Amino acid sequence: MRRFVTVSHTADPSGAWSLNDLAGKAGRVDLLCRNIQSALFLSHGLRRDAEFYAVLERDAGRGRTVRIEGSRIQMLHPDERSTAARLQQALATPWSVPDWEEAQAGLSVAAFGLEGLLDDLAGKGDLVLLDPEGEGIADWMPPADPLFLLSDHVPFAADEYALLERRGAKRVSLGPAWMHGNHAISVVNWHLDRAEASRIA
């Protein structure tokens, strides 16, 4: 299983945004949607071995996380507007406890942010922080169940880096230049596909 986490520091966690202004008042929800598409979509289908976690942490202490499971999600389309609508659907789902509440098959929401998500995923994979200062991806052997961590257009804060360091996240670099998140995810998927093909051969 490959998992991708994008932490948004600006997206409105209420989901009460206009689908006509994803890059503005919604708080760059368009970036989340592009990352979702790069993580999950193939040309004529979805990656069944992938999950995506959109962590909305604009409001301190009131984080929410949306999970999309490639193996179970239905009617997910490769455009920003409809993907944003699916995020809204999840965020509008009522719950009484912080843990996962399913809005629809393969689409869930939880009332926690990055730290709560890391607790939830503990033991389910190896944390990999995409960072230009990490080990070069060409020389890196991916683990069986990698969990890739990216920030949005706002870099991780010092306390977030410290949290990831404490959790043992390994830094892996795609090169010296900062890339758009969706481009970075596409490169990672290519690398994982190539490594998997080599193992099978």
pLDDT for the residue numbered 170: 97
- Give the three-class secondary structure for 59: coil
pLDDT at 35: 98
pLDDT digits (tens, 9 = 90+) for 57-109: 987 767 999 999 999 999 999 999 999 999 999 999 988 778 999 999 999 99
Q: What is the pTM for the complete model shown? A: 0.96
Contacts of 33 (CB under 8 A, 6+ apart): 22, 80, 83, 84, 87
Q: How confident is the model at residue 201 (pLDDT cuts 50, 70, 90)?
A: low
pLDDT, tens digit (0-9, with 9 covering 90-100), for 3-40: 999 999 999 999 999 999 999 999 999 999 999 999 99
Give the pLDDT confidence score for residue 94 in this predicted structure.
87
| 3-state DSSP assignment of residue 120 | helix
Three-state secondary structure call for residue 129: strand
Between CA 107 and CA 52 the distance in angstroms is 10
Q: Which residue has the higher pLDDT, 68 or 195?
A: 68
Residue 17, both tokens: 């945004």
6 class by beta-carbon count within 10 Å (0-12 exposed, 13-18 middle, 19+ buried): buried
State the distance between the two ends of the chain, measured CA to CA, in whole angstroms. 19
